[in-house]
A and B are shown apart, each in its own frame.
Chain A
Amino acid sequence: MSDLVSATGTAARAADVLLRAMGGRTVMLRMPAPAVPADATEQLGIATPTFHDIPLGPVVYRKARATVDNGKAAKWELLVSASAVESLVGSLTYASASVLFAEAHGVLSDDELLEIESATQEQVFGQPYVYRLGLRAPLAQVV
Chain B
Amino acid sequence: MQNAKDTFYLTLQSRLAVLNPARTIVVRGVVRPGTLVEENELPSAWVPIDAFCLQWTELQVNSAEPLPLVVMECSIQYATDGTSGNGGMDRGRLLAAMDAELTAAIGAEPHAVAKMNYSAAKASGAPMAMGTNVFWADPVFGATTAVDKRLARTTTVQVFAYQEAGEL
Q: How many A-B residue pairs have CB under 8 A?
A: 55
A34-B28, A40-B118, A44-B9 known; A105+B40 contact, CB < 8 A = no
Question: Which of A33, A41, A49, A116 interacts with B118 by CB under 8 Å?
Answer: A41
Question: Which of B10, B29, B43, B44 interacts with A34 by CB under 8 Å?
Answer: B29
Question: Which of A32, A46, A116 interacts with B122 by CB under 8 Å?
Answer: A46
Write the nearest CB–CB distance from A94 to chain B, whole angstroms: 9
Interface pair B10/A35, CB less than 8 Å apart: no
- The CA of A41 and the CA of B120, in the complex, are separated in Å by 10
Which of B30-38, B76-84, B101-109 lines the interface with chain A? B30-38
- The CA of A123 and the CA of B41, in the complex, are separated in Å by 32
- The CA of A46 and the CA of B43, in the complex, are separated in Å by 15
Inside 8 A of A118's CB, which chain B residues have their CB?
45
B27 touches A (CB below 8 Å): yes
Write the nearest CB–CB distance from B62 to chain A, whole angstroms: 25
- The CA of A36 and the CA of B46, in the complex, are separated in Å by 21
Interface pair A115/B45, CB less than 8 Å apart: yes
Give the 4 A-B CB pairs with smallest separation, nearest first: A45-B40, A35-B28, A35-B30, A34-B29
Can you add 15 more A-B contacts, CB < 8 Å, to A46-B122, A47-B122, A115-B43? A33-B28, A34-B30, A35-B28, A35-B29, A40-B10, A40-B121, A43-B10, A43-B40, A44-B6, A46-B119, A49-B42, A102-B46, A103-B28, A116-B45, A118-B45
